Amino acid sequence: MRGLAALVGVLAAFQALAEPPDWILASSDARAVAGRPFEILLVSLGGEPPPDEINLRLKGDVDERILRMQAVGPARGTQRAYSATMPTGLSGPVAIDLVGQASSVLVLRVAPKPDAVRTLTDKRAPEEYEPPLSENDPMYFVLGARSGYSARFQLSFKYRLFDQSEGFGQNRPWLSGLYFGYTQNSLWDLSAQSKPFRDTNYRPSLFWKWERADDKAWIDAARFGAEHESNGKDADRSRSINTLFIRPEWHWHLRNGDGIQFTPHLHKYFDTGDNPDIAAYRGYVDWRARYDASGEWIATGVARIGTSGKGSLLVDLSKRTRELRFGPIGGYLHLQYFNGYGEDILDYNVRRKPQLRVGVAIVP
């Protein structure tokens, strides 16, 4: 009798699993970000109209929450969309189902809440969600000792103006490719009596970034925009240029996990300010190439060839050092070599001795 009862119980369990749920949960991309709004779609299979609000059970790896979601608009037949903010403590795969209702289980991949420092320093896989504030060009601090001690440091970020998940970016997805960029590079003379900054370059920009969505395009990504560069000085030490630029990108992924990038920066001057002959030393293209050895070694080269045949070469080499960690910041030993004209915009037509500097980088 016990064996028969067990068999009946197993058959009943299989029958319960075979019965369809009353509600189906769905998502447009199965992704969300902790601390940010997200939406799901609820579909009624039993004929019951979707309510104005629902309670969901969210199960992460080590956490479980009950979340109330409000309807975004009126029901469309048996379907209705709901919105809420994803709890900040959840990340990774999160299973979602209706509380007290027979529903399907939806699994969302939840990215952790963006952090200002982590956003600018942590490496992300290409397919991962890019937060509004992210890295742009390398960020480093290096020291050199040729012709006196000097330091060079650079800060750089970009900010996405519209998010594709809400507002104008949701209604017009092309707007989510619009960015404000800012890069600041300073040369610091440490041997002078008052240790002044020899020059500082300020480079705000506005650009639109396109990324390939299929295999039909012949480039992987491209940027189109305008940039202003100046040193903020006046009189005979004033330097400024305005350019329109295009930056196509090609990425190659090698079998051993390494990667190569070729990202030439093509620009057209439309205002050269106090330096009308700057094209003779900078030309119209910054030839950029980068080799990434699985994030352990990263080498970047930027070459300029002016219309007069004069130019410059900048080489950065970074080595990850796991012992250099300050919270979320991953440290890199950074080696930089510069040779040619115009290490700063003030001396765009001056050639100094080749300079080798060593320091640290948080974004190589």
The 10s digit of each residue's pLDDT in 151-168 is: 999 999 999 998 776 677
Q: Which residues pair with 129 in a beta bridge?
A: none
The per-residue pLDDT for range 50-102, each reduced to its tens digit, is 999 999 999 988 778 899 999 998 999 899 999 999 987 788 899 999 998 88
For 11-32, the DSSP string reads HHHHHHHHSPPSEEEE-SSSEE
| Span 109-124, average pLDDT | 72
Is residue 214 over pLDDT 90? Answer: no
Whole-number Å distance between alpha carbons of 274 and 262: 32
Give tens-digit pLDDT for 271-321: 998 899 999 999 999 999 999 998 889 999 999 999 999 999 999 999 988
Q: Are 52 and 10 in contact (CB under 8 A)?
A: no
Taken in order of first residue, the domains within the chain and their CATH numbers are 21-111 (2.60.40.1930), 116-363 (2.40.230.10)
Using CA atoms, how far apart are residues 278 and 15, in angstroms rounded to an integer? 78
323, pLDDT greater than 60 = no
Put the strands of the sheet holding 64-71 in their side by side order.
23-26, 37-44, 79-85, 64-71, 53-59, 92-98, 106-111, 31-33
Which spans in the chain are helix H?
2-18, 116-121, 167-171, 279-282
Name the residue with tokens 């289980």.
105
Model pLDDT, residue 5:
47
What is the token pair recorded at 251? 């990425």
- What distances in angstroms separate CA 99 from CA 46, 56, 58, 96, 327, one per listed residue? 17, 5, 10, 9, 38
Tens digit of each residue's pLDDT (9 = 90 or more) over 233-243? 988 899 999 99
Determine what percent of the chain is predicted with pLDDT higher than 70.
87
